[in-house]
Copies of this chain bind each other. A is one copy, B any other.
Amino acid sequence: MTEPTIRPSETTLRGLLDGPWAHVRQKSRDQLRGDLFAPVAGLGVAEHRERVMEQLRTIAGTEMAGYGFSSAHGGSDDVGASVVAFEMLVCDLSLMVKVGVQWGLFGGAIQALGTEEHHAWYLPRVISLGLPGCFAMTETGHGSDVQGLRTTARYDPDTQEFVVDTPDDDARKDYIGNAARDGVLAVVFAQLITGGTNHGVHALLVPIRDADGHPMPGVRIEDCGPKAGLNGVDNGRLWFDHVRVPRTALLNRYGDVAPDGSYSSPIESRNRRFFTMLGTLVRGRISVAGGAGTATKAALTIAIRYADTRRQFESPSGEEVRLLDYRAHQRRLLPALARSYALHFAQEELVRTLHDGSRGDPLSEEDQRRLEARAAGIKAVATWHATHTIQTCREACGGAGYLANNRLPQLKADTDVFTTFEGDNTVLLQLVSRGLLTRYRDSFGDLDPKGMARFVAGQFIDTVIERTAARPLIERLVDATRRRGESDIRERGWHLDLLEDREQHIVEGLARRLRRAGSGDAAFEAFNDAQDHVLKAGRAHVDRIVLEAFVAAIDRCEDPDTRAVLDKLCDLYALSIVEEDRGWFLEHGRLTASRAKAVTEAVNTLCAELRPHAAVLVDAFALPDEWLAAPIALGAEETRQEERRTGGASR
């Protein structure tokens, strides 16, 4: 059943996983050590926040803080490094998020939406943490619907100032990281009004605390209080009451107000302007997907190492059986491991595209929209995968998994919100589908039902299987399978073909369905009726591009034994997806009943074949023991069993 002759190389696996930013990963492993960065269980909220701020100050003194900023202002022009460094911060996800708020969202918004004057003054202070800041977008009443924000910034030509106002509690800024304790300056998103005209949502820099840490006049700050997790991040609420900021506080790259109050923008369409501004913030979503990935890897490392040593119930031979030798346990952990690998490589493609677009030539509008759609889709799938898998890992470790010192509770609680922040997953998958229904031309528009209805009524709908980087390789594999007309259950071309065909069928069906819709409320009804279809299309797309990324990564691996194990892992990823959705494949005549049963059988066999390699597959993630910090993953179980065997008591 097992194949002991295959010897995958941990070094090769690790090299493949570490990828183009291996040096950044290694620097994180080397630097984030010692008492200051060791995970600590059971901290109170105040203590935890203080600790994370101290960690942040330490990081501010390193290269990491500047990765994502232009070298002209103290950064290193390495956007890819900034995302990879963020995702490595698994020693405490509160630190991860706080880093993301300061240098990703807050600093990133100034860099992306501001102009040279803002960059020159603010970015060095952002990087050094001299100026801790907030990204004040979400309001209590409007989170997913950013265009519906109700904070206002009215231009007063007499004083050449903007007056920022929170009309009511619906419009207070909510869940804002860095607001409750540390933030001094906030990027505030508000409806920009000048001369009585509303030009839509824009961002302004608004000081929220004075040098003594007190709220600025007109600013009210409230603590969001304890949360399910991430209690090292000081989330808060902000209200503005006639707060005046100078005209230059407007981050004016995509829209500016002259001293006399006249508005100008390089982008004429208000809708297009809005989505262009939002699009510059895509890095946040990619970062969250990466962070979710590392947390999942940490949980899998803990649960698989434990399952590989923990024993329960005797076998007939009299020896107690290791948990990972049980089929049920393999089924819980190994398909999740396969998916983590697959998502890792899809994430790497995202980061590379983002990074390349930030150097040399900027991305074309079509490529930018595609990047945004992929980021949305992979963020949704990766964060749901995290929630699901970390939960499974907790359960797979039983009572030990419930103890805080074994890390799983914190990983679970901290990543939980990843499914709904930086874009609610359900909304994001709809964004993906929408992208699939058009060639991205003339397709800017809201994601809300009204916009969707307008979109539906506009009949822009067209479908296209868009290409991934590995397209030539993929097509070769698919064509070979199609030509032969039959295929082994583990044939890669067949897996690719199945997932591509499923996506195409679902998207085309959706397009037909929406084309029949009318306009106005009827279009909304049609959209709403099709909502599960829309979500399914987004999901099918992501499954397919993730598989293609995995296939492309294996193609880069030259060691035959390592490649053989990765091939099995990729089979397991693909066939688990087919098994999970075999209802669809059967309903649509893509699988016969006997083939569907063979898929289930193949998943079982693959689990058994991969079982001996499970430990090396998680070791290759190379998360330092200091970060895992869970005794059950670091030899406690072996020690106990050894003591029992040798009669060495420990009292």
Contacts and interface: CB of A to CB of B under 8 A. Distances in A.
Nearest to A429: B328
A144 B313 contact: yes
Given A169-B643, A449-B316, A399 B413 contact: no
B413 A409 contact: yes
A278 B448 CA distance: 56
Given A312-B145, A328-B532, A41 B413 contact: no
A404 interface: yes
Given A142-B312, A528-B327, A583-B586, A227 B404 contact: yes
Interface string A145-156: 100101000000
Interface in A229-251: 229, 239, 241
Contacts of A579: 583
Contacts of A412: 228, 416
A225 B402 CA distance: 11
B327 A42 contact: no
Interface residues of A, number: 105
Interface stretch (A390-398, A568-576, A622-630): A390-398
Nearest to A332: B426
Interface stretch (A66-74, A342-350, A518-526): A518-526
A170 B640 contact: yes
A641 interface: yes
Contacts of A318: 450
A169 B631 CA distance: 14
A596 interface: yes
A499 to B, nearest CB: 16
Closest 10 CB pairs of A and B: A228-B409, A313-B448, A42-B226, A226-B404, A586-B586, A582-B583, A327-B531, A583-B583, A170-B644, A175-B399
A169 to B, nearest CB: 5
A140 interface: yes
Contacts of A279: none
A44 B528 CA distance: 45
B426 A399 contact: no
A399 B416 contact: no
Interface string A256-292: 0000000000000000000000000000000000000
A315 interface: yes
A224 interface: yes
A626 to B, nearest CB: 19
A643 B170 contact: yes
A382 to B, nearest CB: 15
Interface string A25-68: 00000000000000001101100000000000000000000000
Interface string A130-152: 00000000101111110010100
A313 B528 CA distance: 12
A294 interface: no
Interface string A85-111: 000000000000000000000000000
Contacts of A41: 225-226
Interface in A175-202: 175
Contacts of A160: none
Interface string A505-547: 0000000000000011101100011011001000000000000
Task: Name, among A143, A169, A224, the residue most crowded by chain B CB atoms within 10 Å (CB to CB).
Answer: A169
A143 B637 CA distance: 14
7 contacts: A142-B312, A228-B408, A313-B450, A315-B450, A316-B520, A399-B417, A588-B593
A331 B138 CA distance: 26
Given A449-B315, A593-B587, A651-B239, A227 B403 contact: yes
A395 B640 CA distance: 39
A364 to B, nearest CB: 29
A229 B394 CA distance: 13
A324 to B, nearest CB: 12
A167 interface: yes
Contacts of A367: none
Contacts of A421: 399
Nearest to A426: B328
Contacts of A582: 583, 586-587
Contacts of A586: 582-583, 586-587, 593, 596
A387 interface: yes
A404 to B, nearest CB: 4
A462 B176 CA distance: 61
A596 B579 CA distance: 17
A449 B640 contact: no
B453 A424 contact: no
A413 B408 CA distance: 12
A589 interface: yes
A42 B449 CA distance: 38
A12 interface: no
A640 B426 CA distance: 24
Interface string A488-518: 0000000000000000000000000000000
B593 A402 contact: no
A558 interface: no
B175 A640 contact: no
A228 B643 contact: no
A345 to B, nearest CB: 26
A17 interface: no
Nearest to A593: B587
